[in-house]
Structure 1
C-alpha cells in the first residue's frame, strides 16, 4: 500500500469526518463537493471536529490544526482527483446519483486511482461497471464519529483485484481503523446487518403509533444497557439519510409501510428542518437531548 493522496467525494457529516480522520493520520486530503457553498459548510463542519479530537483523543492544538491544513477543497472533480491514489465516495444513498458520479469519476481520475464507496446499504457490484475499472473498485464503510467508533468494513465484489483488497485493508489500519474484511458482498455489511433491523423496527413502532421515540429508546437502553436508543442513533446518522434509505426500500420492495414511513420522515422532520443532531434537532433537541439526562432510564 503506497497511498499518499486521498480524495473524499461528498462533504456531509460522514464525508467530513472521513476526510479529517485521514488528514489527522498524516495523509494529504482533497475534499470534493458540488459547489463552493456546500464546501464552505464543509470547512466549518470539519473545523468543528478539532475540538472533538482534543476532547476525545487528547490531541494537541498543533495536531488538530496541522490535520486541517492538510485538507484542500474543490468543486472541480478533475482537479480534486488529479493526484489521487484513492477516492472515497460518500455521496447520497441514491443509486442514480452514485451511478452518474462514477461514470464521471472514471473519465477524469488517473488510471492508478482506486475507487471506494462508503455506501451504507448498496453493493459494489451495482456500480462496478459504471466505474470503468471494476478491478480497482470496492466498498469501504465507516461508522459515524469515526475517530471513536473506528470500524472500517472493507467489502469486495467478485471482480475486485486481490491486491487492491489487501491494500485498502492496510490503508484502513494506517488511518487508525479496526479493519473488518468481508469476503463476500452483503447488503449492510456486518454492522448495518445488525443495526438496520433495529432502526427499521423502531421506526415501524413509531409509524404504527405503538410508542413515541423516547419510550422506544428508553426500552432499548434499559433492557440492553446501550448508551443510546435507535432514535438517538438515527439523529446521529441524519434523518435525510434515513429517508433516502427508506424510500429506496419502498421502491425496491413495494411495501407500502416503507412509503408511509418515508412520507412521515419528510413531512414531520425534513420539511421542518429537523434533520438530526447536526442541525440541532431531529427526534431530540440538542445539545442537551433528554436521553442524556441521568434520570432518563430511571424508574
Structure 2
C-alpha cells in the first residue's frame, strides 16, 4: 500500500529534530523544519552540512543524493507556512509540557484536515497532549533515537483515542524512512529506549555531581563492561544535548520531588548550558568535538606505570590533599 505521508513538517530545530528532518529528506520526503528562532534554524542548517559528510562517509551517499536531500529541505519561522502542506507533523520541541501544549494549540487551527501529528517526546505521554492537538484520533507518539542513521528505531505509542488508521500510516512512514518500528503496547513514560536510558544517564550524572568519579573514568567503566560499544553515558549525554538532559531532569525532579535529580539538573545548567556548552551540537559538552577523547585508540588501554601517581591522586583527592 502506498503511503500518502510525503510532506513532513518537523517542529523544533534541535538535535533530534534536525536529524529527523535530514534523514526523512534523504529518504525522499519533502521536509519543512520549523522553529520559533532564526538562530536555531541556522544551527540546524549547519548541522545538516555535518550530516551530509556523515552520510557520505557512513552511508555511501553520492553527491547527487546529498544535493537531492538538500533540495527537499526548507526552513521556516512561520508556523502557518510550515504546516500548510503537511501530511505529517512530528513535534520535537523542548521536553517542557507547557511549551508543547502552546505549540499544539497554536497549530491546531492551521493544519489541513488530513494531517497526522506525532510527538517525539522523550519521556512524556501522548495522552497529556492529545486534546491540545484538536485531532486526538490523528495523534500518537513516534520516538526516534539520536544518530538516527545508525540507531534506526522508531517507537510507536498510542493513547486511548488514537485511530488504527493513524498508527498504520505512521508505522508505514517509519518503515519508508528506514526505521525498525518498535510497538509500545501501553503508554509508558520513556517507551522502551528511555525507560532504561534515562535512569542510566541520571545515575551517571549523579556520579559526576557528587564527585564520585570523573566523566572519562565513568565512560571507561561503561565501555569496558560493554565491550564493543562506541561510547559511554557521558558521551551519550553530549549527543542527546545538554538542554534536553536538563529539561528531563528538571521535569522529573520536580514531579517526583527528587533532590538528586534536581541537583543533577543544576549541575548541567551551571557547568554546561550557562557556558554555551550544549554538547555535540556546539562542539563541546563533556567532551570536545569532532575528536572526543573516547574515540582515541588508547582510551580503554591498560595505562603505563607512569600513570600511577596521577591515578592515585584521583583516589580520595580531598583526604590526600589534607595529608600532604
TM-score bracket, shorter-length normalisation = over 0.9
1:215-241 CA-partner distances (Å, limit 9, x unpaired): 111111111212211101001111111
CA gap of 1:36–1:267, structure 2 versus 1, over 3 A, is: closer
Q: CA deviation at 1:97?
A: 0.2
- Give 5+ residue unaligned stretches, structure 1: none
Q: CA deviation at 1:89?
A: 0.7
1:182-231 CA-partner distances (Å, limit 9, x unpaired): 12111111111121111111111112211111111111111121221110
Per the alignment, residue 320 of structure 2 pairs with none
1:23-60 CA-partner distances (Å, limit 9, x unpaired): 11111111111133332222222122111110010010
Structure 1 position 273 matched with structure 2 position 270: no
Q: CA deviation at 1:280?
A: 1.4
Per the alignment, residue 163 of structure 2 pairs with 161
Cα distance in 1 between the residues matched to 2:177 and 2:283: 29
Per the alignment, residue 148 of structure 1 pairs with 150
* Partner residue of 1:48 out of 47, 50, 75: 50
Asked if structure 2 preserves the Cα contact closer than 8 Å seen for 1:134 and 1:160, the reply is: yes
Q: Equivalent residues in 2 for 1:1-299 (5 A)?
A: 1-225=3-227, 226-299=229-302
Cα distance in 2 between the residues matched to 1:73 and 1:290: 34
1:41-92 CA-partner distances (Å, limit 9, x unpaired): 2222212211111001001000011011011111111111111110001111
Aligned residues: CA RMSD: 1.1
Cα distance in 2 between the residues matched to 1:133 and 1:238: 31
Q: Which has the larger radius of gyration?
A: 2
SS of the equivalent of 1:108 reads coil
Q: How many residues align?
A: 299
Cα distance in 2 between the residues matched to 1:262 and 1:105: 30
Cα distance in 2 between the residues matched to 1:288 and 1:33: 29
Asked if structure 2 preserves the Cα contact closer than 8 Å seen for 1:169 and 1:181, the reply is: no
- Give 5+ residue unaligned stretches, structure 2: 303-324
Cα distance in 1 between the residues matched to 2:195 and 2:42: 34
SS of the equivalent of 2:162 reads coil
Cα distance in 2 between the residues matched to 1:30 and 1:287: 27
Cα distance in 2 between the residues matched to 1:7 and 1:49: 19
SS of the equivalent of 1:141 reads strand
